[in-house]
Amino acid sequence: MKMFKYLFTLVLALSVVGCSDLEENAVSQLEPEERELDLETVETTIAGAYGHLDARAFLSRALGLTLMLRSDMVDIGFPSTPPERVEMDQFTVAADNPLILNITRPETSFWPRLYQVVRAANETILEVEILDDQAAGVKEELTARARFVRAFAYYHLVRLFGDIPYLDETIPTSEASIAARTSAEEVYTNIIADLQFAKEWLPDSRSNRALPGKAAAGAYLASVYLTRGEYQLAYNEATDVINNAGRYNLALEPDYRNIFHAVNTDLSAEPIFVIDFVGTNINDESRDYLAAFTGFFGQATYYPSGGWSVAVPAQAVYDTWDDADYRKSVNFDAEAVDNNGNVLTFNEFSNLDNRNANRPHISKYTAMAGDLPQANTSGRDSHSNYQLMRYAEVLLIAAESAIEIGRTGEADQWINMIRERARNGDGTGEPSAVPADISGATIADVLEERRLELAFEHKRWYDIVRRDMGAEVFGPNGFEQELQGTVNFDANRDYLLPIPPFEIANNPNLTQNPGY
């Protein structure tokens, strides 16, 4: 078997869609000063950093499933799915869970993949410094792109694992391999510094929202401050984005469905930062796996091969959502079309295939991929966009922070902008009365609005953690009780994931999180 040093000798994948071999003697581990560099090479390096976001190890599969299943919005559908997924859903995570680190297939797991993003970003920063005169006029923007994506990767890592090794461009490889865990407080300080630099030097707006502009940096600064409970700063950053929406070319998309339409979303001003899949399967990378995981076996609603019924909401998630809220119809499939053209309701899904859960399934990813002729093989070969940050979330960050600093009237205004959009549906009929405008919004109101507006967009688990809602949402009145039967959530353990034991065994300065 090949020997790997997963975390600290990760190879930079130079292809935007490819996956690197993580073998420790790879050529790309040469230090930047040891290689011939030009501006084109640096552009390739930073493209590689962003290319990792397309990977199956990130939101498309490993991390995406983790964040969905650990929330109270999504449960396991097909019970014989691999145990590492069930562990995430039921809070029985083993320290060596392969979604975190698979030692035989590290390219499929998110701990090494996120550090690959960091590595590529750090290499970019070093390469720009070496280029110097060649990078005149673009030096700061290249560095800003690198620092933004480094902050983005660390923002996931610190929320998932707490204290983590923080590696920047000043850390030589020889020291990185034995780096101790950096306090979460210091990691956040560095994330904020990177995002502040990015906000200063990135362009106002880009036509391709898979690359960040100033609005992306500002929106993530607002999100970071919200997570840390620094509400005035969160308010300042969120309202800065709102007040400059015209300059940044941002607005709410009139039809909520268009945000999750593979073609129409490219014409929308709502996305701020996205993953843009390319519809190309190279070594099983850059594939839209959530279309398959959230779809159901044996149906032809969107494409003939159907999905896998893995990530399926509990029935209560569907039942408690008001039928008159347009967003419900966008988020769920309660009917399916089989390959003979027959329409089945959700309590008949197992008639299509006994592996299907008889519950409404998530439609955001299956429908989006199904809008494309390339959406074959369970929807995986699509060029859908995953929404990482969009304007509606900035409005909700502003609303939550405004309530915390006593500006509830402003919070009402921003929430009602989102609710009005929902009431208008697709704009072709009479507006709905649901959801009604709000007055005197509370924090609970904003969190509920986030749960509905951002449903299945990988936000809910992080909201549960930052607001310490685990005992409540996984308690006897939670959505998932009908399925789990027992409560495995432990607030002393489950807000953080385990540090991979393989890393601890190879680095004497790493320690484990409590409970693992």
User: Mind listing the pLDDT tens digit for each residue in 185-217?
Assistant: 999 999 999 999 999 999 999 989 999 999 999
Spatial contact of 103 and 4, defined as CB atoms under 8 Å apart: yes
Mean pLDDT of 231-244: 98
Spatial contact of 308 and 422, defined as CB atoms under 8 Å apart: no
Confirm whether 357 is domain-assigned: no
Q: What's the mean per-residue pLDDT of the chain?
A: 90
Least confident of 24-33, 61-70, 188-197, 473-482: 24-33
Confirm whether 197 is domain-assigned: yes
Confirm whether 138 is domain-assigned: yes
Q: What is the CATH number of the domain that holds 86?
A: 1.25.40.390
Percent of all residues in the chain with a pLDDT value above 70, rounded to a whole number: 91
pLDDT of residue 12: 31
Residues 6+ apart with CB under 8 A from 55: 19, 107, 113, 285, 286
DSSP state string for 104-159: S-GGGSHHHHHHHHHHHHHHHHHHHHHHGGGGTTTHHHHHHHHHHHHHHHHHHHHH
DSSP, res 381: S
pLDDT of residue 379: 82
* Token reading at 381: 């070969």
Q: What's the Rg (C-alpha) of the chain?
A: 22
Confirm whether 403 is domain-assigned: no
Confirm whether 266 is domain-assigned: no
Per residue, what are the HEC states of 279-305?
CCCECCECCCHHHHHHCCECECCCCCC
Question: Given a cut of 60, is residue 173 above it in pLDDT?
Answer: yes
Q: Domain limits at 56?
A: 1-201
Confirm whether 442 is domain-assigned: no
Mean pLDDT of 59-77: 96
The residue ranking higher by pLDDT, 2 or 152, is: 152
End-to-end CA distance of the chain: 27
Nearest to 99 by CA among 81, 91, 116, 87: 87
Spatial contact of 263 and 247, defined as CB atoms under 8 Å apart: no
Whole-number Å distance between alpha carbons of 487 and 194: 39
pLDDT of residue 124: 96
pLDDT of residue 134: 74
Pairing of strands 332-333, 311-312: unpaired
Mean pLDDT of 236-260: 98
Confirm whether 230 is domain-assigned: no
Whole-number Å distance between alpha carbons of 450 and 273: 18
Mean pLDDT of 398-407: 98
Question: Given a cut of 70, is residue 483 above it in pLDDT?
Answer: no
pTM (two decimals): 0.92
pLDDT of residue 393: 98
Percent of all residues in the chain with a pLDDT value above 90, rounded to a whole number: 77
Least confident of 6-10, 357-361, 454-458: 6-10
Nearest to 277 by CA among 268, 289, 267, 269: 289
Question: Given a cut of 90, is residue 283 above it in pLDDT?
Answer: no
Nearest to 358 by CA among 66, 166, 78, 151: 78
Residues 6+ apart with CB under 8 A from 458: 59, 63, 64, 67, 68
User: Mind listing the pLDDT tens digit for each residue in 318-342?
Assistant: 999 999 999 999 999 999 988 888 9
Confirm whether 64 is domain-assigned: yes
Question: Given a cut of 60, is residue 123 above it in pLDDT?
Answer: yes
pLDDT of residue 31: 59
Whole-number Å distance between alpha carbons of 405 and 232: 7
Where do we find the tokens 């599969």? 61
Question: Given a cut of 50, is residue 10 above it in pLDDT?
Answer: no
Spatial contact of 441 and 412, defined as CB atoms under 8 Å apart: yes
Question: Given a cut of 60, is residue 438 above it in pLDDT?
Answer: yes
Q: Side chain identity at 242, as an amino acid letter? A: I
Spatial contact of 310 and 81, defined as CB atoms under 8 Å apart: yes
* Token reading at 1: 């078997």
pLDDT of residue 272: 98
Q: 29-36 long-range CB contacts below 8 Å, 24 or more apart?
A: 29/173, 31/126, 31/173, 32/123, 32/126, 32/127, 32/130, 33/126, 33/130
Question: Given a cut of 80, is residue 375 above it in pLDDT?
Answer: no
Mean pLDDT of 453-464: 98
User: Mind listing the pLDDT tens digit for each residue in 14-47?
Assistant: 332 333 322 222 334 555 555 668 888 999 999 9
Domain count, the chain: 1
Residue 5's alpha-carbon distances to 180, 245, 497, 503, in angstroms, are 16, 44, 20, 8
